[in-house]
Amino acid sequence: MPVRDVHSRVPWQATTPSRSARAAQRSLRARPTDAPLRIAIDTGGTFTDCVWIDPVTGELKALKLFSTPKDPSQAISDAVAQIAGSQAVILLHGTTVGTNALLQRKGGRVAFVTTKGFEDSIEIGRQSRPKLYDFFFDPIEPLVAREMRFGVNERTDKDGVLLAQPSQAELEKLRKQVAKAPPDAIAISFLFSFANPANERTVAAALKRLNIPLSISHEVLPEFREYERASTVVINAYLQPVMTDYLRRISGRLSRGSRAFVMQSSGGLTSLSTASSEPVRTVLSGPAGGVVGAAAMARRSGYANIVGFDMGGTSTDVCLVEGSPTVTNEAEVAGLPVRVPMLNIHTVGAGGGSLARFDAGGALRVGPESAGAVPGPICYGKGTQPTVTDANLLLGRLPAKRFLGGGFELDVDRTERLTAEWLRKQKSNLSVTRFAEGVVRIVNANMEKAIRVVSIDKGFDTRDFSLVAFGGAGAMHACDLAAALEMPRVIVPVLPGALSALGILMSDVVKDYSRTLLWPCVGKLPTKKLDAEFSKLESAARAAFKSERWPGEIEVERWLEMRYSGQGFELAVRSGPRALAQFHADHARRYGYSLLQNDVEIVNIRLRAWIRNANPKLRTGGQPSKQNGEMATQMVFGGKALKAKIYERSSLRKGNSVSGPAIISEYSGTTVVPPKWQAAVDRAGSLILTQKEKRAT
C-alpha cells in the first residue's frame, strides 16, 4: 500500500562527463574548504557509476565511465579526477572485486588451521548433490588445497569447556609448517570456538609472529555449524590479500586529506580497515547499494513493498523488500556458504552484455557468459558476438544517438552486419529481427525466474509488489516482466543506471554482531538473559564506532533466530514481546504450518548497530542531455514494426505522461514503454509505468 513520506521531492540531473567535470569544479571552488565532497562510486562489469550532490546547488549529479577490468581502481581514480580534480573527497565505494575473485578463483593462497581430524571438513561439506541425477557432476573444489590444511591437537565441548589445549612444542611445529608453506593468509576455525575461543586465541598468538594476515572464526563468525563457519573464515582469508591490495591502491590514488569507505553486503558502510580485515562482508557490496537505493526511492514515491530489479552489463540482481530490506545469513557465493549478514539478493547471469549462442541441439541460449567491458557488445565498436544490448538496438528499443545522453553513439550498421554474419556462421535461418526478439524473450524468461525465486517461491504474491527497475538495462525489460508476473506497476527511479551508487551515497554506517546461544524457550522469552547478551554486543558496537571515530547517535536493532525444538534450521524475527507470536506466523507463511504447542529454541542472537547518514537536503533540478525534444522512431513488438516516439526524460515534469510505444531516454539508462502501457512522472521524479487497462490507483 502507498505510504506517506516527508522526503517527497527528489532532484535528478544527468550530465555528460565533460559537463559533470566542469560543474563539479565550479562547485568545489565555491564550497567551504572544510567540507569534502562526498562521491559514491559503484564499479561494475561494463560501467563504473558515480553520483554526488552538488554542494552549492544541492542537485544530484551522475557520471558513467567504462570500467577498467585489469585494474578497477583506475576507473575510480579517473572518475574522482574528473569530478573533483585534486581536491580532498569522501569516497563511498561499492565494489565487485571480492565477488570476482571468488568467481574466478583469483584469491590468495590460504593455510587452514583447524581441530585435528577435521582438516577435510571444508571439502566434505554437507555432502549435498546440487545435481542429483548427474553422475558426471564435479563437486566444487575447496579454496584450500589439501597440503595447506593443518590440524591442531585441541578440543572444546559444546558448553565451552576446554578438553585439550595445544602444547608449546606443537605450536612451534605448527608455526614452522605454516611458514614453510608459505600462505598469503591464514584461516583459523576450531570446533565450538563460539562457546569458548581460548584455543583459537592461543594459536593465533603463536602464528601472529609470521606477520601473515589472520582470519579467526570467533572474530569473523562466532556461530555454530562448523562447515559454514569454516567456509566463511576461509573465504575471508582468501579475499584478504586481494582486497587489501585493491583498497590500498584506491587509497593511494586519492588526494591528500581524502577518506574512503566501503559498502558492505549487509547494506551499510564500513571503514577501509574493517573492509581489509573482513573482506567477506563485501562480497555483495555493489548490489547491496542497489537494494538500499531502490527501497529509498520507492518510499519517496509512496510504495513500501517492492521487488528490486537491477539489470546491469553482466548480471541481474533481484531482491524483495517488504517495508525494509531483508538481511539473510544463509547466502552462497560461487557455490560456497557465506554466513555473514547480507541483503537477500539473488543474482543470475543475465545482463546487457550477456552473449547469445546456439547450444549443441540448436536451441538459442543467452548468458551467463558476458562480453563485459572489453570487448563489450557489437554496437560499442569492438565486440563480435551478439548480446542483449545488440538485440535491443536491433529492435529499436535502444536509441543509438542518445546513449549516455548523446555522449556515445551506438553503431547500428556494424551491429546489423556482424549479427547477420554470425547467424550465417551458426547456420541459422533466423532473420536478424526474429533472432533479436528471441534473445529478448529468453533473457526475460531467465530474469522472471530469478524474481520468482525471491517472491513466489517464498510465499509472497507478486501482485502485492511494485517492480523497481534500475541498472542501465532494467527499464527496457521491466514492463514485460511485470506483465508476466501480474505486478501492478513499474517504478523507474531517477538516475536508474546509477541507482546502486545513489544507494551507497544514502547508506548508513553499519556494524553487525552475532552469537550462538541454543537456549530452550518454553512458553515465554528469557527476557533478562537476552538483555544481558544483547548488552555485550552493543558494548562491542559502541567501542568499534568509537575506535573508528564515527560521529553521530548510535541506533540498534535486535534480532532472534528461532526454531521448533528438533528442527535443523531457524527463522529470524525481531526481538521483543511479540517475537514468539511472530515466529509462529512467519513459520506458517514460509512452510504452510505452525506448531503453537511445541517448544521453541533460540539459536542465535543478532545485533545491527548503525549511525544514520546525514545527507544534505536534495533540491529538484535537471539539465537536458545533448539530445532534446521528441523524435519519431520505430520499435519491434511481436514481429511488427510500430511507430513510436523518443522523449528526453529531463523534459518531462511532474504530472506529465507518455503513452506507449515510446522510449524515454536519459544519461544513465533507457526506459521502454510498450504498447498498451503508460508512463507518468510522479511527485518524486520517478516514472510510474502501468498497463492502461490495468492502471494502478
Same domain, 556 and 602: yes
Same domain, 164 and 264: no
CA dihedral for 115, 117, 120, 125, sign (positive or negative) = negative
| Residues 275, 260 contacting (CB under 8 angstroms) | no
Same domain, 37 and 109: no
Residue 630 has a pLDDT of 65
Residue 137 has a pLDDT of 79
Same domain, 22 and 63: yes
Residue 30 has pLDDT above 60, yes or no: no
Least confident among 6-15, 397-406, 618-627: 6-15
Same domain, 29 and 110: no
Whole-angstrom CA distances from 205 to 169, 209, 226, 245 are 14, 7, 22, 24
Residue 147 has a pLDDT of 95
Residue 5 has a pLDDT of 29
Per-residue H/E/C for 381-394? CCCCCCEHHHHHHH
Look at residue 148 and tell me if it is in a domain: yes
Same domain, 62 and 116: no
* Tens of pLDDT, residues 533-552: 999 999 999 999 998 888 88
Least confident among 204-208, 520-524, 618-622: 618-622
More confident call, 620 vs 418: 418
Look at residue 252 and tell me if it is in a domain: yes
**Residue 207 C-beta-side C-alpha neighbours within 13 Å:** 30
Question: How far apart are alpha carbons 666 and 407 in whole angstroms?
Answer: 11
* Tens of pLDDT, residues 268-319: 999 999 999 999 999 988 889 999 999 999 999 999 999 999 998 888 899 9
Residue 376 has a pLDDT of 87
Look at residue 381 and tell me if it is in a domain: no
- pLDDT mean across residues, the chain: 88
Least confident among 46-50, 56-60, 405-409: 405-409
Least confident among 72-86, 440-454, 506-520, 608-622: 608-622
- Exposure pattern of 374-392 as b/e (b: 16+ CB <10 Å)? eebbbbbeebebbbbbbbb
- The whole model's pTM is what? 0.83
The DSSP call for residue 568 is: S
Question: How far apart are alpha carbons 511 and 233 in whole angstroms?
Answer: 18
| Residues 320, 466 contacting (CB under 8 angstroms) | no
Residue 327 grid cell: 538481511
Look at residue 7 and tell me if it is in a domain: no
* Tens of pLDDT, residues 236-282: 999 999 999 999 999 998 888 888 999 999 999 999 999 999 999 99
Q: DSSP string spanning 156-206? A: E-TTS-EEE---HHHHHHHHHHHHHS--SEEEEE-TTTTT--HHHHHHHHH
Least confident among 237-251, 323-337, 496-510: 323-337
* Tens of pLDDT, residues 653-668: 888 999 989 999 988 8
Helix (H, G, I), strand (E, B) or coil at 676: coil
| Residues 514, 221 contacting (CB under 8 angstroms) | yes
Look at residue 413 and tell me if it is in a domain: no
Same domain, 159 and 143: yes
pLDDT level of residue 9 (50, 70, 90 thresholds)? very low
Among residues of the chain, what percentage have pLDDT more than 70? 91
Residue 15 has a pLDDT of 38
Look at residue 307 and tell me if it is in a domain: no
| Residues 309, 474 contacting (CB under 8 angstroms) | yes
Same domain, 108 and 236: yes
Q: Work out how many domains the chain is built from and give that number.
A: 3
Residue 543 has a pLDDT of 93
Helix (H, G, I), strand (E, B) or coil at 662: strand
Same domain, 536 and 584: yes
Residue 652 grid cell: 518531462
Same domain, 236 and 110: yes
Residue 32 has pLDDT above 70, yes or no: no
Look at residue 217 and tell me if it is in a domain: yes
Last residue of a domain, one of 259, 282, 305: 282
Domain limits for position 114: 102-244
Residue 1 has pLDDT above 70, yes or no: no
Residue 390 grid cell: 545488440
Give the CATH number for residue 75.
Answer: 3.30.420.40
Look at residue 437 and tell me if it is in a domain: no
* Tens of pLDDT, residues 377-412: 999 988 899 999 999 999 999 988 877 766 678 999
Residue 131 has a pLDDT of 76
Residue 12 has pLDDT above 50, yes or no: no
Residue 161 has pLDDT above 80, yes or no: yes
Last residue of a domain, one of 254, 282, 310: 282
Same domain, 215 and 250: no
Residue 402 grid cell: 542518445
Give the CATH number for residue 190.
Answer: 3.40.50
Same domain, 262 and 148: no
Residue 436 has pLDDT above 60, yes or no: yes
Give the CATH number for residue 515.
Answer: 3.30.1490
More confident call, 631 vs 250: 250
* Tens of pLDDT, residues 462-473: 999 999 999 888
